[in-house]
Structure 1
Amino acid sequence: MNILLLMDPFIPVPPIYYGGIERVMYDIACKYKEMGHEVTIIAGPNSKSPGRLITYGQNGELNPALDLKVLAEVARILCKELKKHDVIHNFGRLVFLVPFAWFKIRKVQTYMRYIDRRNIQRFDSLRMRNLAYTAVSDVIVATGKTTKSNWHTVYNCAPVNYFTFRPSVPDNAYLVFLGRIERCKGLHSAIKVAKLSSKNLVIAGNISTLPHEISYFEQEIKPLIDGNQIRYIGVVNNEQKNVLLGSAAALLTPIEWVEPFPIIIPEAFACGTPVLGFNMGGVPEGISHGSTGFISETVEQMAGHVLRIHELSRAACRKEAETKFSDTVIANRYLDIYKAISHKGTKTQSSTKI
């Protein structure tokens, strides 16, 4: 199969540090190539591809407003590429597919964020041919699904074989928080959990450039970083992440928003590291309570769960990564969706969780 993967240009594919959907897209592309498929990636400058690469636009901050120049550039590229491919898998803006709404080529639109259902309804009215939607959790599917659209839940993946499984860690192993430092990610809660449970916490990730998030870090987080119990080590690359996660007693994800499905969950599991998360967004869909982690309702409850980490199975975490969230499993699930899309018109709509 000849597969075209399309992404917004703002963050390179794959990202060096932070970047969720760009990382998943690249991992899937590499797996497709390994499986013998032809792959073309269309993405921003400084990107890489295991197959062909077409770059466009500029790297920089995500701009919520539609850039007509970017839209026109994508349309020109796709016009040249359509006849060479069997499917367009779009990880970028849905509007990129508008000029090709009635083309026979199979189209998949993937979401890793909360969806504005009005956009889906507008596309329903276009009667777009051969289109399937995917989202990275049941929670996110529910924000976009309409009676006329074809939806599937496909979770985020991690290249499991890249991560080193550590079957055990010392009793005094630290807790870890890894992600973009913004209030909605709940770092303030992770610090409270560490203090309540008398555990060390290692924080890694980039500080948001938004003014109110910078104030959040400077005023509420930085004063609590003592370099001893609470440490901040900055951003980490893939190699550093492997060691950081694998050496931790558990990953804390006390999110305070509708988190779609953090890639960090399968990455932690691949190392054998359990995950403790709040019962919000898609996080609970990734945790087998009492086996690969704990789902908590409050800071106090999560602190109590920290004291029960010894009840969890690091082997079960690794197995979950291999059987449910590996790049191989997720690539095959996307391939099944591609194959199910009719060449002659949109099939009877359904919603499938795979």
Structure 2
Amino acid sequence: MRIALTVDPEIAVPPIHYGGIERIVDFLITEYQEKGHEITLFANDQSRKDCILKVWPGKTSFSKIDTLRNTIYLTREYLKNKYDIVHSFSRLAYLTLILPIGAKCIMSYQREPTISQIIKAKKLAFAKNLWFTGCSDYITDQIKPFASAFKVFNGVPLAAFHFNEAIHEDAPLVFLGRIEPIKGTHNAITIAQQTGKKLVIAGNIPQEYQWYYNEKVEPHLSDQIKYIGPVNDEQKNNLLRHALAFVMAIQWNEPFGIVMAEASACGTPIIGTCKGAVNEFITDGLNGFKSDEIEGLVRYVNEIHLLDRRQIRIDTEKRFSSNVIAEQYLQLYKNFISK
């Protein structure tokens, strides 16, 4: 197949630090090319060059002028190349001019969907040539009343994460993500304090949440609780594989959270609150524990030793490996094209 993949223009494929969607698209390109498909990537100019790279002329997703420029650019390239599938991980608006002319488009949501935009796009689509995917049932179930939608989880390239069956008895808990209230950094600190476990905090501090770090994180830093800043892929792998557990004590409905799959690929269990896709990812007693209350997560930390890290890795291979996810998308493409 001739497949066009699109991402927003801000972050490269693959990303250096933050960039969950871009990591998904990166492994899809690798998996698809290994299977002989021709891939065109619409992204910024720092993205991988081993596929056909089309550089967006508009450099931000938040400018109406840039959005129009990118919409026109994608339309022009589609008219020249007539891709079998245009698979968008970027703005739905970029598809608006190719939907009425028969392009088969799949829009994948890794974030909360905007239903009003979905309804408008469906009206533009020629012969129902627009399908949607969500990275969890939590996302997909919001779309299904209005359009054809299918769940495809996020995943990880397993070779990039090294399985570790045995960890040190003094292994720390790990928090990895943006340092902001909804991500629950302060909850991870509470869990560490109440269990007496060490905690390593990694991730970027958004400028608008510097206050949160200053007030809710920094005062608790000590020999027990450390903040190490953003980490690259090698540092992330090393951090997750040597963790007692990954703490996902979020305060919002997380659409998925790729770091859960990255941790479990290392054999590391997840401790998480029952919100969003955490409910779908964690199978209690297999790859971690979930609870509605922080007090419950505190109790579960003391049961981590009951989990088999090898079974956690096996579960990840079955449900979240890049090969499995790529195959699910490819089967969706084939079903779509045959309609």
Aligned residues: 337
Unpaired runs of 5+ residues, structure 2, are: none
* Structure 1 residue 230, shift from structure 2 partner: 0.3
- 2:291 aligns to what? 296
Aligned to 2:48: 48
Q: Distance in 1 between matches of 2:58 and 2:227?
A: 31
Q: For residues 59 and 119 of structure 2, what CA distance do their matches in structure 1 show? A: 30
Post-superposition offset of 1:297: 1.2
Work out whether residues 292 and 316 of structure 1, in 8 Å CA contact, stay in contact via their aligned partners in 2: yes
Conserved? CA contact 2:2–2:83, under 8 Å? yes
Partner of 2:220: 224
Secondary structure, aligned partner of 2:188:
helix
State whether residues 273 and 290 of structure 2, in contact with CA within 8 Å, keep that contact through their aligned partners in structure 1.
yes
Within 5 A, what are the aligned runs for 1:1-354? Answer: 1-57=1-57, 63=62, 66-82=63-79, 83-128=81-126, 129-147=128-146, 149-210=147-208, 213-226=209-222, 228-342=223-337
Distance 1:41 1:143 in 2: 28
Which is worse superposed, 271-280 or 101-110? 101-110
Q: Is the 1:136–1:153 contact (alpha carbons within 8 Å) kept by the matching residues of 2?
A: yes
Query: What is the Cα deviation at residue 161 of structure 1?
Result: 1.4
For residue 99 of structure 1, give the secondary structure of its aligned residue in structure 2. Answer: coil
Deviation at 1:84, TM superposition (A): 4.6
Counterpart AA for 1:257: W
CA distance in 2, matches of 1:74, 1:50: 24
Residue 257 of structure 1 aligns to a residue in which SS?
Answer: coil
Shift of 1:184: 0.3
**Deviations 1:44-68 (Å, cap 9, x if unpaired)?**
23111431111124667x63xx523
1:193-229: CA deviation from partner (whole Å, max 9, x where unpaired): 001111000011001122xx11111111111111x11
Aligned-partner SS, 1:92: coil
Cα contact 1:121–1:146 (8 A) shared by 2: no
Amino acid at match of 2:216: E
Contact 1:156/1:325 (<8 A) preserved = yes
Provide closer, same or farther for how the CA distance between residues 105 and 336 of structure 1 changes in structure 2, counting only shifts above 3 A: same
- TM-score, normalised to structure 1, is 0.91
Deviations 1:91-144 (A, max 9, x none): 011111110112333211000111121111222333443211001010111222
1:22-71 residue CA offsets vs partner (Å, 9 max, x unmatched): 111111111111221111111123111431111124667x63xx523332
Q: Match for 1:143: what amino acid?
A: Q
1:26 touches 1:49 (CA, 8 Å); kept in 2?
A: no
Q: Distance in 2 between matches of 1:240 and 1:84?
A: 41
Higher relative contact order (CA 8 A, sep 6+): 1
Q: Are the aligned partners of 2:67 and 2:93 in contact in 1 as well (CA < 8 Å)?
A: no
- Over the aligned positions, Cα root-mean-square deviation in angstroms equals 1.6
- Which TM-score applies when normalising by structure 2? 0.95
CA distance change for structure 1 residues 127 and 33 in 2, over 3 Å: closer, same or farther?
A: closer
Counterparts of 2:265 and 2:45, CA distance in 1: 30
Q: Would the aligned equivalents of 1:41 and 1:49 in 2 still touch at CA under 8 Å?
A: no
1:78 deviates by 3.5
C-alpha contact (below 8 Å) 2:110/2:135 kept by paired residues = yes
Which 10-residue stretch deviates more, 43-52 or 196-205?
43-52
Shift of the 130–13 alpha-carbon distance from structure 1 to 2, 3 Å rule, reads: same
Give the C-alpha shift of residue 85 in structure 1: 1.9
The CA distance in 2 between the partners of 1:195 and 1:271, in whole Å, is 25
Q: Deviations over 1:264-305 (max 9, x none)?
A: 111111111111110001111111111100011111110110
For residues 33 and 166 of structure 1, the distance between their equivalents in structure 2, rounded to whole angstroms, comes to 30
